[in-house]
Amino acid sequence: MEKLKNASWIHQQELEDPLKKYLNSTEDYLAYLCGPPRSHLFLPVSVVYALIFVVGVVGNLLVCLVILRHQTMKTPTNYYLFSLAVSDLLVLLLGMPLEVYEMWRNYPFLFGPVGCYFKTALFETVCFASILSVTTVSVERYVAILHPFRAKLESTRRRALRILGIVWGFSLIFSLPNTSIHGIKFHYFPNGTSVPGSATCTVIKPMWIYNFIIQVTSFLFYVLPMTLISVLYYLMGLRLKKDESLEADEVTANIHRPSRKSVTKMLFVLVLVFAICWTPFHIDRLFFSFVEEWTESLAAVFNLIHVVSGVFFYLSSAVNPIIYNLLSRRFRAAFRNVISPSCKRWPSQDHSQGPPAQRNIFLTECHLVELTEDTSPQPPCQSPICTSQLSTAFCPQQPP
């Protein structure tokens, strides 16, 4: 009976002072404030990230090399895809290692204020540059389909480079608000002394500022662009369907329509996959910004969305080269030409089929490779080929 009384008294004391049992050690108190120092999903998520990293880095490097090395690939549309590949490489080479490190050791943050600013600015800039690049290439494709003569006059490589400069400049500028409210935050014991090893890279300004920035940027750089892109591809689909119903009387129509349709199809799939991969990322950010009072069930849902959004965020950086290889004969032929050392190319001297700008033929040791979208046979060269802090421990002081 006396033991039951003692146990009841101890339980009552714990309810009166819930922090008391966490003050026995620094590790326990930090775990109480910010969760466990290492994510319990560190191993499985790291394995998935490693696979995404290898595929993404190799694929995007191939995209960059293909566009830089082949003159026929230096088109305005491919320049936008080059920009997208560069942003994906930045995420994979700079962002992912830091993300994996934070899963392995959530705190302390060892890179100081400069590292915190760099991390936040990197994810924000790449996020904005990616969606703006996808939007720009969609607008360019819309003009090419509905206003082909205007596109022929205005869509130049120099103009595409100027637009990309504006895209990256705007992305960097719009990343500054969220970057400026981040910094290094230290936690303190109830007596006012600093907790050793408690430095975290998080929001140090009032949370309403962070919530406002996230909601505005999610609308400006996801909801609005994806709505515009959806309308553009709907109009393009109507136009292409109308063209298919017309009789092709001119030979030039028979030549250019398959190419135009195949490029549009590839870009449509690219945009669709982009939207699917980035939706969980923005749901994660908006979820955090709208919830004011957290419960255990809300925290569990948030942690699940947080993990899924992280995987899809990096997956979007690796899937684009696969789409190009599957849906574009031009990219597929160029990929094989770059990665296969046995396929050496020599420019053909036969210009009877048209000027080099329209027809670029390469003779390889394997087969005749024609880098045009309406090429029927595939080159038979045989060669081997191939934002946030992700912490499953919920900590309201550490926004995504």
- pLDDT tens per residue across span 249-265: 444 444 444 456 677 78
Q: Are strands 368-370 and 361-363 parallel, antiparallel or unpaired?
A: antiparallel
To the nearest whole number, what is the mean pLDDT of the chain? 74
Q: What pLDDT score does 155 carry?
A: 67
**Highest averaged pLDDT of the listed ranges 32-36, 170-174, 359-363:** 170-174
pLDDT tens-digit profile of 104-142? 877 788 888 888 899 899 989 999 999 999 899 888 888
Q: What pLDDT score does 307 carry?
A: 85
pLDDT bucket at 95, cuts 50 / 70 / 90: confident
E strand or H helix that includes residue 370:
strand 368-370
Q: What pLDDT score does 260 carry?
A: 60
pLDDT bucket at 341, cuts 50 / 70 / 90: low
pLDDT bucket at 213, cuts 50 / 70 / 90: very high
**Highest averaged pLDDT of the listed ranges 16-25, 37-46, 52-61:** 52-61
Contacts for 242 with CB less than 8 Å, ≥ 6 apart = none
Q: Is pLDDT larger for residue 1 or for residue 187?
A: 187
* CA-closest candidate to residue 221, choices 286, 159, 157: 286
Lowest mean pLDDT, pick from 20-34, 109-123, 177-191: 20-34
- pLDDT reading at 85 higher than 60: yes
Residue 250: other Cβ atoms inside 10 A: 9
User: The pTM is what?
Assistant: 0.73
pLDDT bucket at 70, cuts 50 / 70 / 90: confident
Q: Is pLDDT larger for residue 191 or for residue 232?
A: 232
Secondary structure (3-state) at 378: coil
Q: What pLDDT score does 270 carry?
A: 86
- Residue with token string 């990256």: 168
Residue spans of the domains in the chain: they are 25-327, 335-386
Mean pLDDT, residues 6-10 taken together: 39
**Highest averaged pLDDT of the listed ranges 20-24, 319-323, 361-365, 385-389:** 319-323
Mean pLDDT, residues 192-197 taken together: 73
Whole-number Å distance between alpha carbons of 365 and 372: 19
- pLDDT reading at 246 higher than 70: no
Secondary structure (3-state) at 202: strand
pLDDT bucket at 347, cuts 50 / 70 / 90: very low
Q: Is 90 left (phi over 0), alpha (psi -120 to 50) or beta?
A: alpha
Q: Is pLDDT larger for residue 345 or for residue 337?
A: 337
What share of the chain in percent tops pLDDT 90?
Answer: 23
Q: Is 112 left (phi over 0), alpha (psi -120 to 50) or beta?
A: left
Q: What pLDDT score does 224 carry?
A: 93
CATH class of segment(s) 25-327 = mainly alpha
Q: What pLDDT score does 378 carry?
A: 37
* CA-closest candidate to residue 265, choices 399, 108, 145, 398: 145
* CA-closest candidate to residue 194, choices 186, 202, 184, 203: 186
**Highest averaged pLDDT of the listed ranges 40-44, 213-217, 250-254, 302-306:** 213-217
Q: Is pLDDT larger for residue 51 or for residue 159?
A: 51
